[in-house]
């Protein structure tokens, strides 16, 4: 095996600069998207409650309209 080649300081600097820039960009992007996702979850939870209530009412109506011996 050949001995490892020394990497240029310019390349090292560029690599670490890109790494740090990516971390900063990711943090900013996460902070931007986090409230949007929280709002979407809140809306979905409200819609789920409404949907479950409609299903419960539909089930009660279906049970009430079944033919029974008592009718």
- Is residue 47 domain-resident? yes
End-to-end CA separation in angstroms for the chain: 92
Kindly give, in sequence order, each residue whose CB lies less than 8 Å from that of residue 45, ignoring residues fewer than 6 positions away: none
- Is residue 27 domain-resident? yes
d(CA 47, CA 49): 5
- Is residue 1 domain-resident? no
Q: What is the number of structural domains in the chain?
A: 1
- Is residue 63 domain-resident? yes
**Structure tokens of 13?**
């600097």
What pLDDT score was predicted for residue 67?
67
Residue 51 confidence class, pLDDT cut points 50, 70, 90: very high
- Is residue 44 domain-resident? yes
DSSP-derived letter for residue 39 is H
- Is residue 8 domain-resident? no
What pLDDT score was predicted for residue 71?
54
Q: Classify residue 58 by burial, with Cβ atoms within 10 Å: 0-12, 13-18, 19+.
A: exposed
The domain in which residue 32 lies consists of 21-70
């Amino acid at each position: 095996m050949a001995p490892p080649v020394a990497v240029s300081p310019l390349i090292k600097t560029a690599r670490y600069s890109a790494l740090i820039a990516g971390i900063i960009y990711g943090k900013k992007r996460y902070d931007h998207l986090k409230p949007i996702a929280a709002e979407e979850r809140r809306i979905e939870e409200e819609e789920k409650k409404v949907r479950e209530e409609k299903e419960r009412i539909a089930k009660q109506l279906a049970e009430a309209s079944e033919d029974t011996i008592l009718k």
